[in-house]
Amino acid sequence: MKKDIVVYILFINIFILFCICLETIKIRWQFSQEHENNAYLQVANNKLTEINFNLKTEYYHLSSPAKVERHAKEVLGMVEIRKVINISYEK
């Protein structure tokens, strides 16, 4: 009778150990997946930072005063006022 109980307890311990090993393997696999995801997110973040920098540079270039002035002269046909003429009306 005692031998049966010892064998039963031994099998229960082996089963519990097997479950713990499987859980450890699952957790290690999840850690590796999270590490790969983190590396992918770092690469994506670097690309987005570079794109953001390029867009800011383009925005500052397109809204610069020299660009606006050239557009006004070439496209809209505006000219710079060189001499101020005062016109006075007499009664």
Indicate the length of the chain as a whole number.
91
Dump pLDDT digits (tens) for 19-71: 999 999 999 999 999 999 999 999 999 999 999 999 999 998 888 888 888 88
Instruction: Determine the pLDDT at residue 36.
Output: 94
Of residues 64, 86, 68, the one with CA closest to residue 76: 68
Residue-wise DSSP of 25-46: HHHHHHHHHHHHHHHHHHHHHH
Instruction: Determine the pLDDT at residue 37.
Output: 96
Query: Does residue 63 contact residue 57 with C-beta atoms inside 8 Å?
Result: no
Q: Cβ–Cβ contacts within 10 Å for residue 72, how many?
A: 13
Boundaries of every domain in the chain? 2-74
